A and B are shown apart, each in its own frame.
Chain A
Amino acid sequence: MNQTLETTQAQRDAVTDADVTLIVGLEVHVQLDTQSKLFCNCSTAYGADANTQTCPVCTGMPGTLPVINQRALKLAIKTGLALNCKIANYTKWDRKNYFYPDLPKGYQISQFDKPICGEGHLTISDAKGAFETRDIQIERAHLEEDAGKSIHDETGAQKPSKIDLNRTGTPLLEIVTKPDLRSAEEAKAFLTELKLILTYIDVSDCNMQEGSLRCDANVNLHIKVDGEKIATPIAEVKNLNSFRAAERAIGYEAERQLRVWKKDGLGIADAPKQTRGWDDANQKTTKSREKEDAADYRYFPDPDLIAVETTDEEINAIGSTIEYLPSKLRTELMESYGLEAYDTEVIVSQGIGVVTYYKTVADFLTKSASGSKSPGKTASNWVAQEVLRYLNEQNCAIGDYPISGDQLGELLARIAKGDFDQTRGKDVLAQMLENRADLEAAIEKLGIKAVDSGEVEALCQQIIDENQGVIEQIKGGKVQAVGSLIGKAKKLNPNINPNLVKETILKQIGI
């Protein structure tokens, strides 16, 4: 990297997209799922009346002492383990000093040089292959307290700002990646996978509307000019409160920084790091109104708090509470159930409830001796199409789905056995959902009974006699014309198995 290379306008004009590498690092704040705040017993419940969940500790009164929340520590360690981080046996607390009205103590209790989670990594991949599967390195993850909420006067009339300190002291885990991400899509994939992991290990509700998951992105470009590499000034884009916002903000910054650099040629050594915000209405980043002084947080150890030591045994015990990780479930669904990457992703991205349901259906079908050729794939088709559609339409969770995994498995087994076809099977499912009927009751209600072979043969003979024109076409080599005969057979008897009709007709006319 050349920090001070001066470029000419002609050199900059000659730069093409192929010379530019996008460099992105993320800082993600996750609100840990605790009942009480990080250093006091005030509730963390969302949505209470302003300033009704505070006490002398979280409002920073002199003489109070913070005491660390055990569950916050455990959830932080659990998250670190799920992200392959080295967990610190010794961790301590530091004060990050800055003045802002929503920070009552004048400092935030955070962790500086001894964070609870050290280096780790998270693997990102794309089921459709938009980018290569790779590990994104995590630099650290540390515990800290949240600040309060400011409500500013937006009229420009300089009216007082209003402060609500309910959120002050809420436990956050700040997860910091190395500048490893190379595109907006990769950043979005990282966030999506991180959120999925956090949901599976049950450490946060990850509710972005309520601020339980917040993201800042550090973005700049590395540009090749005549064999030298130049970095553009870093922009930190703050408070990206949706994955789509993160993706678009990063994409926008990539374009903006190239445009600005082509004009002014300023590199990372020429301009300070800039704080920017994402303007969702106008789909662009704007320079924040914060002061331009380089941040000087004067970190020092918090004398009110003592260190926390955790033994390897304690860390392992916390690790053993991790039941499910999306990466392991993906491998299981692909290797043991024969699913493709895309189908696996549809199931796994829905969370552990849907994965467990899917496995129940597929296991039932596998053990049913129904002759199903690909029980894993069949179960995935039905869960992905029928079950997930119902959950979306009804806006409910898998736990509220009226049909058990065994019942759906049994339905699929009956289809595989040839009792009725797939289309009729969907009628049965609809009947089960509509009337909360069990499988047998639904089958009876629809008047479905297995059609015996004598009946099938008689029906096929009738169709052959009545449709000699079509039969001649089939005999003439246009075998697909049999499709229209199957339609006629289904009209005569909706419960007849279309495959059996096809076989029988072809046999009877000697093909």
Chain B
Amino acid sequence: MSNLAQNVAKLARIDLPDDKAEAVQEDLEKVLKYVQQLEALELPEDIEPFFGAIESVNAIRTDEAQPSYPREEILSNAPDSDGQFYKVPSVFEQS
């Protein structure tokens, strides 16, 4: 788990400075240790896997197209746009 913090930061595209990485690493390890207590539980062989904490099922809607949001309103949430498209930094880094 030595690079846990840096790896998670990289996957999340977060810049994690070296002087903060150690503290984050310690925190993450504590969280993981806490959750890993579950592994100590002995479960009966025949128990069904559990996929979620909510027991209700089938929240479904009918297929019906409704008007979307005005483009201006939607794009107003973006850091940058040209009025039609979102503008984002070039995806391809200088090679």
Contacts and interface: CB of A to CB of B under 8 A. Distances in A.
Interface in A404-431: none
Given A92-B52, A160-B80, A161-B91, A36 B85 contact: no
Contact of A43 (B65, B71, B77): B65
- In this complex, the member of B74, B84, B94 whose beta carbon has the largest number of chain A beta carbons within 10 angstroms is B74
B59 to A, nearest CB: 5
B64 A114 contact: no
Interface residues of B, number: 36
Contacts of A289: 92, 95
Interface in B60-75: 60-66, 68-69, 71, 74-75
Contacts of B41: none
Contacts of B65: 35-36, 41-45
Interface residues of A, number: 53
B69 to A, nearest CB: 5
Contact of B85 (A50, A73, A92): A50
B71 A51 contact: yes
Contacts of B54: 306
A151 interface: yes
Contacts of A50: 71, 84-85
Contact of B63 (A56, A61, A70, A296): A70
A133 to B, nearest CB: 37
A407 to B, nearest CB: 40
B90 interface: yes
A97 B52 CA distance: 19
Contacts of B75: 51
Contacts of A59: 74, 77
A218 interface: no
A69 interface: yes
B56 interface: yes
Contacts of A92: 51-52
B86 A308 contact: no
B58 interface: yes
Interface of A: 34-36, 41-45, 49-56, 59, 61, 67-73, 92, 97, 99-101, 114, 150-153, 158-165, 289, 296, 298, 301, 303, 305-309
Nearest 7 CB-CB pairings of A with B = A71-B63, A162-B85, A41-B66, A163-B86, A43-B65, A101-B88, A160-B87
Given A158-B92, A306-B56, 14 more contacts: A54-B69, A61-B77, A67-B61, A68-B59, A69-B61, A70-B61, A70-B63, A92-B52, A150-B91, A152-B90, A159-B90, A160-B80, A162-B88, A308-B58
